[in-house]
Structure 1
Amino acid sequence: MDFLQLPSRTKGTRSFGLTSIVDFGTPIGHLQHILEDYHQLIDIAKLGIGTAYVFPNLKEKIKLYRDYNIKAYCGGTLFEKCYQQNKITEYLNWLKELNIEWVEVSNGTLNIPLHERLQIISIIKQDFHVIAEVGSKDSFNEMPICDWKTEINALLDAGCEYVITEGRDSGTAGIYDNNGTIKSELIFELLEDVDWKKVIFEAPSPKHQMFFINCIGSNVNLGNVKISDVLILETQRRGLRSETFNLEEQEWILPL
């Protein structure tokens, strides 16, 4: 029975308020146990880095996620490896065989020009749902704020369903500096000109997650969430942790 007044959460098949976990090779049996209890808290599962290519029983894992209505896709590093070796066609055919319906187009490791990414998206969006990523995995690669805005909006206009802001699983690149501190000026500038409901902010740690929850609200889209942290994250979203205790109904507030 619900008796507390808590911030409301989007439910069912969400279009925003997403929790996107990162799966770095969770064994099937362990994953089954986790999803039995927590599947309703997970919307998307990224098979991190290139793990999908070498994971045993990959079809079984994809089916397990589908059975729990969780969208699974391969991390952008695998896309970039295929791009580097001119194997995009083979990659897409492989995804179709696996019944994976989502594709990430990124340039976190390779410097793939925006116009080339847009061209690729225009082709693959005919058969797949596309997620794009903006930002470099190189923590010393400083991208101007105007370029962040330009790329995010261009990718969304090209037909991407969501755009991810790079943060790495360590939270030390992209929207974070190499010490793990969030670039708050960048985030607040983005919120002025970008539809936050279409952006998935990579936030690998509770500290990062709480920043976005307090800044944008309970229904911010968060990615690179550790599979073991999904309940902790939902607790934070509902104002049931000290750092989000006074969370109210809101959709992005002024800088903290």
Structure 2
Amino acid sequence: METTSNLMWPGALSDPSGRRQAKPRAAGITMVIDKGLGQHAFEDLLAAAGEYIDIIKFGFGTSPLYPVELLTRKIEWAKRSRITVIPGGTLLEAAVARDVVPAFFRQVLGFGFDGIEVSDGTIELPRDRRDELIRDAAALGLKVYTEYGKKIFGSRIDVQEFAETAERDFEAGAELVTVEARESGVGVGLFDEKGSCREQTLSEMLRIIPNRSRILWEAPQKEQQVALIKSIGPEVNLGNIPVHDVMALETMRRGLRSDTFELGGAFSDYVI
């Protein structure tokens, strides 16, 4: 019997695309939303799928609810797996609304987070204030991921406004701009009231976006992930992925699941 060090699947089976990048990836980023995993569940997630996760977001305002030791451990474990760890954008929105942004930044750095999400899904955030938050976070050495869109059910994407917002966010120092879809993926932004992709909106966005590798699309549902992989390619950046779907998403990126099986070996047709 072979030793485990000699066990390896053929490349044609482990990655039919032949294009999946190793970490740190410049494209094909997977952002996972953690809504409150405990110690053992989090360790199991990293052991099984850590190689396929690039960003973990502790969703909403959950970060202050953890026991301090558990929060710091989770952050340390994720960083050891070369995963960027960020608190949810709602927590920063709460800090803005309550005028405690400096304290927010101190605790983010103190706990060991290495990135933040700047969003205005719940509050109104003036453009100048958004720029200031992005610049201040970047100056502290944090990776900044911004978010476009409101969390209100029925909200839609203004394509031109999105393009202008993304351009200014990048100028201020953002690494990625995220298209809002909430954790449900229903009735918000790119997805309609049934969770289906608004194809016309997507086509308009792809026509106007100059650098797709810097856009991250929240897509918590499988069919949404399939639609974006087929429309943009396996190296599309996807976010708000449920923790139990990480491996399944990775198989779709590689053409190892029936939903995208026909893409295996033909991924070269897709360009980010």
> Alpha-carbon deviations, 1:155-195, whole Å to 9, x = none?
11221000110001100212212321222222222222221
Report SS of the residue matched to 1:246. helix
Report SS of the residue matched to 1:171. coil
**Which residue is equivalent to 1:145?**
159
Does residue 134 of the first structure (1) align with residue 143 of the second (2)?
Answer: no
Shift of 1:126: 0.6
Shift of 1:37: 1.8
Give the alignment partner of residue 190 of structure 2, picking from 170, 175, 189. Answer: 175
Does residue 240 of the first structure (1) align with residue 256 of the second (2)?
Answer: yes
Post-superposition, which runs of at least 4 consecutive aligned residues in structure 1 deviate over 3 A? Answer: none
Q: Aligned partners of 1:114 and 1:142: how far apart in 2?
A: 19
**Which residue is equivalent to 1:189?**
204
Q: Aligned partners of 1:218 and 1:201: how far apart in 2?
A: 13
Give the alignment partner of residue 116 of structure 2, picking from 98, 103, 118. Answer: 103
- Report the aligned-residue RMSD: 1.5
Amino acid at match of 2:205: L
Contact 1:168 1:174 in 2 (8 A): no
**Which residue is equivalent to 2:65?**
54
**Which residue is equivalent to 2:244?**
228
Q: Aligned partners of 1:185 and 1:155: how far apart in 2?
A: 24
Shift of 1:252: 5.2
Q: Aligned partners of 1:65 and 1:3: how far apart in 2?
A: 29
Report SS of the residue matched to 2:40. helix
Q: Aligned partners of 1:95 and 1:6: how far apart in 2?
A: 40
Q: Aligned partners of 1:3 and 1:76: how far apart in 2?
A: 39
Amino acid at match of 1:81: A
**Which residue is equivalent to 1:80?**
93
Task: Name the structure with the higher helix share.
Answer: 2
Q: Aligned partners of 1:168 and 1:138: how far apart in 2?
A: 9
1:143/1:42 CA distance change after superposition, 3 Å: closer
Count of paired positions = 253
TM-score by length of 1: 0.94
Contact 1:204 1:225 in 2 (8 A): yes
**Which residue is equivalent to 1:154?**
168
Give the alignment partner of residue 91 of structure 1, picking from 77, 101, 104. Answer: 104
1:113/1:184 CA distance change after superposition, 3 Å: farther
Q: Aligned partners of 1:43 and 1:142: how far apart in 2?
A: 28
Q: Aligned partners of 1:142 and 1:33: how far apart in 2?
A: 37
Worse-superposed segment, 72-81 or 185-194: 185-194
Q: Aligned partners of 2:94 and 2:44: how far apart in 1?
A: 32
Larger Rg computed on CA atoms: 2
TM-score by length of 2: 0.89
Give the alignment partner of residue 3 of structure 1, picking from 9, 12, 15. Answer: 12
Q: Aligned partners of 1:142 and 1:197: how far apart in 2?
A: 22
Q: Aligned partners of 1:200 and 1:143: how far apart in 2?
A: 14
Contact 1:171 1:204 in 2 (8 A): yes
Q: Aligned partners of 1:12 and 1:70: how far apart in 2?
A: 9
Contact 1:164 1:200 in 2 (8 A): yes
**Which residue is equivalent to 2:3?**
none
Worse-superposed segment, 12-21 or 143-152: 143-152
**Which residue is equivalent to 1:69?**
82
Q: Aligned partners of 1:121 and 1:203: how far apart in 2?
A: 24
Q: Aligned partners of 1:14 and 1:252: how far apart in 2?
A: 15
Q: Once the two structures are aligned, what percentage of the paired residues are identical?
A: 30
- Which runs of 5 or more structure 2 residues have no equivalent in the other structure? 1-9
**Which residue is equivalent to 1:207?**
223
Q: Aligned partners of 2:201 and 2:47: how far apart in 1?
A: 38
- Which runs of 5 or more structure 1 residues have no equivalent in the other structure? none
Worse-superposed segment, 242-251 or 101-110: 242-251
